[in-house]
Amino acid sequence: REKYYGDPDFVHVPLNILLDKGYSAKRRKLIDPDHASMDLRLGNAASSRPRQENGNPNVFKGDTTHLDAVDQWGNMIAATPSGGWFASSPVITGLGFPLGSRMQMFSLDPDHANALMPGKRPRTTLTPSLVLRQGKPFMVFGTPGGDQQDQWTLQFFLNCVDFDMNMQAAVDAPTFHSSHFPASFYPHSASPGSLTVEGRVPETTISALREKGHDVQVAGDWNHGRVLGIRFDSGSGVISGVSTARLETGYAIGW
């Protein structure tokens, strides 16, 4: 992400390589199951420490929302509105909407793929997801959570498709996330080796991770991930919705 993720109108993003199974296999070989790496290995670039830009970490932090919707015909949408935090984004008089705050995601390093330039779009963390099965829309899901969105939604999806959990079990399963890489939001801080897990993760697992060198932080039992999702069974027409109980901020409704 630190090397390639930028506005494709300004930088070359080699999707054919990044999505290639052979390239993924080469990257997978870099994983040492017995030792946590403290490096940030940027694709074909040499190993390096994550870069950090100095700034005030006490800036206002707002939050994102997420919604999914599916109708009786299987039309579906996932949306993750964000970027209009009122404390830092004044409402434009007469128009009724606030200025966005996404320019804080730009890097001030001119060699960075996401470097600040006139007319350039900043990268984003937003990850509304739509899954096709046999070419037809099957599931939508997403969550608020900044750089954790990709991590939490991937865990939910794998719980459903690889571990054969029902949607509620998949969303309720304990989550984890890493802050090893530079954060998308200003001041782009990084915590090499960091791994935050929910308190329901077994102590034996936490101890094993620490022995491998991970800097494990244990959060509350139900603190992370606010995944919502809906699945549509095209055969029966049944629509199934799910919401996490975390922070009591989401819900699923049908009519």
DSSP β-ladder status, 215-218 and 194-197: parallel
- How many whole angstroms separate alpha carbon 36 and alpha carbon 33? 8
Q: By three-state DSSP, how is residue 198 classified? A: coil
Exposed, middle or buried: residue 175 (CB in 10 Å: 0-12, 13-18, 19+)? buried
In this structure, the chain runs to a length of 255
Residue type, 174: P
Q: How far apart are the two ends of the chain, measured CA to CA in Å?
A: 41
Neighbours of 189 (CB within 10 A): 15
**Which residues are annotated as catalytic?**
64
